[in-house]
């Protein structure tokens, strides 16, 4: 039974990783989390946190990001990669937030995804972490591991999000993402997952499948 399997997976995730909410991107408010999430595309959270430590001192609010000089902001965020696009999007986002939302990050999915460079993933990070709206964030870990666990067969993040919304109880929407990120970083790596240390082998569709392939 799919529902029973899902329940088992969630119970094990709760047991191992607890139900504690945490966000890997350092931030003090919605605006900072929005900027950090934009910067996190194709970049590790650890590197983003190093960059934002000084970035948020230099640009303390949305108005200062809106007024930023493009070339200077590009230099400031360069270590996060894709800095041309990210800087353009950050300034565009900040301008729209200042002009249309009085400097406050909006909370609806529609308003958030209308901001430059903000897709469903970033919008759901904000909705889940800041506004505590049940939201499912489909990042690389959630995509890979949900497929391995047989919770979805889809490839497209938006389709995965809708599928997970059907199978996961709402109280796990945000938690699932937090727990799966931890699981993906500690055990279920993209390459050579540590299956011998995994607590979800019974529920994994990939476990033992590829004979001869080392999964240490
Ligand atoms: Fe990932 Fe291996 Fe565990 Fe499957 S058994 S969930 S591939 S670590």
- Domain shared by 37 and 105, yes or no: yes
Is residue 7 part of the annotated active site? The answer reads: no
Q: Which long-range contacts (CB under 8 A, 24 or more apart) does 5-12 make?
A: 5/150, 5/203, 6/151, 6/167, 6/168, 8/202, 8/203, 9/149, 9/151, 9/200, 9/203, 10/168, 10/169, 10/172, 10/176, 12/199, 12/200, 12/203
Burial 61-77 (b: 16+ CB within 10 A, else e): ebeebbebeeeebbebb
Nearest CA to ligand 1 atom 2: 195
**CA 156 to chain CA centroid, nearest Å:** 15
Is residue 160 lining ligand 1, measured as CB closer than 6 Å?
Answer: no
Is the shortest distance between the CB of 141 and ligand 1 below 6 Å? no
Q: Computed from CA positions of residues 63, 66, 71, 74, in that sequence, does the dihedral angle turn out positive or negative?
A: positive
Res 21: pLDDT? 87
Structural domain includes residue 164: yes
Asked if residue 53 is part of any domain, the answer here is: yes
Is the same domain home to 187 and 117? no
Interval 56-79: pLDDT, tens: 999 999 999 999 999 999 999 999
37 plus 118 within the same structural domain: yes
Residue 49 shares a structural domain with residue 119: yes
* Least confident window among 64-73, 98-107, 148-157, 205-214: 205-214
Which of 86, 95, 121, 143 is the catalytic position?
121
Instruction: Single out the residue in 129, 164, 181 at which a domain terminates.
Output: 129
Of 14, 45, 61, 139, the active-site residue reads 139
The answer to whether residue 185 is domain-embedded is: yes
Judge whether 195 lies within some domain. Answer: yes
Measured in whole angstroms, how far is the alpha carbon of residue 132 from the centre of its chain? 15
Asked if residues 90 and 96 have their Cβ atoms less than 8 Å apart, the reply is no
- The tens digit of pLDDT for each residue in 17-32 reads 999 988 999 999 999 9
User: What mean pLDDT do residues 170-187 have?
Assistant: 94
Q: How far apart are CA 26 and CA 72, in angstroms?
A: 22
Let me know: does 129 contact 112? Beta carbons within 8 Å: no
Structure-token match 């389709």, residue found: 159
Tell which wins on pLDDT, 215 or 1: 1
Whether residues 41 and 122 share a domain: the answer is: yes
CATH number reported for the structural domain that contains residue 89 in this entry = 1.10.340.30
Structural domain contains residue 215: no
Mutate to test the pocket of ligand 1, among 144, 185, 207 (most ligand atoms within 8 A of CB): 207
**Same domain, residue pair 37 and 124:** yes
Model confidence, pTM: 0.87
Instruction: Measure 137 CA to ligand 1 centroid, in angstroms.
Output: 20
Let me know if residue 182 belongs to a domain: yes
> Phi/psi of residue 121, each to 5°?
-60, -50
Are 49 and 106 members of one domain?
A: yes
* Residue-wise DSSP of 64-80: HHHT--HHHHHHHHGGG
Q: Report the domain count for the chain.
A: 2
Segments forming the whole domain that contains residue 150: 2-20+137-210
Q: Is residue 105 part of a domain?
A: yes
151 lines ligand 1 (CB under 6 A): no
**Which CATH number goes with the domain that contains 16?**
1.10.1670.10
């Amino acid at each position: 039974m799919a529902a029973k399997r899902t329940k088992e997976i969630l119970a094990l995730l709760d047991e191992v990783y607890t139900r504690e909410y945490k966000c890997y991107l350092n931030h003090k408010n919605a605006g900072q989390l929005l900027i950090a999430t934009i910067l996190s595309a194709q970049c590790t959270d650890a590197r983003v946190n190093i960059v934002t430590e000084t970035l948020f001192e230099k640009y303390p609010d949305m108005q200062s990001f809106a007024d930023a000089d493009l070339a200077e902001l590009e230099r400031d965020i360069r270590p996060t990669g894709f800095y041309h696009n990210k800087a353009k999007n950050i300034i565009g986002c900040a301008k729209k937030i200042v002009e249309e939302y009085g400097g406050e990050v909006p909370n609806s999915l529609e308003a958030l995804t209308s901001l430059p460079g903000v897709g469903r993933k970033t919008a759901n990070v904000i909705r889940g972490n800041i506004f505590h709206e049940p939201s499912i964030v489909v990042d690389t870990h959630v995509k890979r591991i949900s497929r391995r666990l047989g919770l979805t067969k889809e490839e497209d993040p938006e389709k995965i999000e809708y599928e997970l919304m059907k199978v996961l109880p709402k109280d796990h929407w945000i938690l699932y993402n937090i727990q799966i990120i931890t699981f993906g970083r500690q055990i279920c790596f993209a390459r050579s997952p540590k299956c011998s240390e995994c607590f979800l082998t019974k529920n994994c569709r990939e476990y033992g499948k590829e004979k001869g392939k080392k999964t240490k």
